[in-house]
Amino acid sequence: MAENKFLQPFVKWAGGKRQLLPEILPRIPKNYSRYYEPFVGGGAVLFSLRPKKFVINDKNKEIINVYRTIQENVDSLIKELKTYKNDSDFYYKKRDLDRNKNFEDLPAVKRAARILYLNKTCYNGLFRVNRQGQFNVPFGNYKNPNFVNEFTLRAVSKFLNEANCRIDSGDYLHGLKGIRKGSFVYFDPPYDPVSTSASFTGYTLTGFDKQEQVRLKQACDQLHNKGCKFLLSNSATDFIKDLYKDYTIDIVHARRNINSDSAGRGKIAEVLIRNYDI
Identify whether 216 is part of a domain. Answer: yes
| pLDDT in the model for residue 89 | 98
| 103 lies in the same domain as 121 | yes
Confidence of residue 17 (pLDDT cuts 50, 70, 90): confident
Identify whether 11 is part of a domain. Answer: no
Q: For 186-204, how does the pLDDT look when each residue is reduced to its tens digit (9 = 90+)?
A: 999 999 998 755 555 455 5
Is-contact 272 250, C-beta < 8 A? yes
Identify whether 219 is part of a domain. Answer: yes
Identify whether 10 is part of a domain. Answer: no
Q: What percent of the chain has pLDDT over 70?
A: 91
| pLDDT in the model for residue 128 | 84
Mean pLDDT of 244-268: 74
pLDDT surpassing 50 at residue 263: no
pLDDT surpassing 80 at residue 73: yes
| pLDDT in the model for residue 266 | 62
Q: For 107-120, how does the pLDDT look when each residue is reduced to its tens digit (9 = 90+)?
A: 999 999 999 999 99
Q: What is the pTM of this model?
A: 0.91
| 157 lies in the same domain as 144 | no
Q: What percent of the chain has pLDDT over 90?
A: 79
| 168 lies in the same domain as 50 | yes
Identify whether 114 is part of a domain. Answer: yes
pLDDT surpassing 80 at residue 223: yes
Is-contact 186 36, C-beta < 8 A? yes
Domain that holds residue 228: 18-61+151-274
User: Which residue, 106, 128, 149, sits at the end of a domain?
Assistant: 149
User: Which residue, 106, 132, 149, sits at the end of a domain?
Assistant: 149
| pLDDT in the model for residue 32 | 98
Q: For 121-154, how does the pLDDT look when each residue is reduced to its tens digit (9 = 90+)?
A: 999 887 888 888 899 999 999 999 999 999 999 9
| 192 lies in the same domain as 136 | no
The total domain count for the chain is: 2
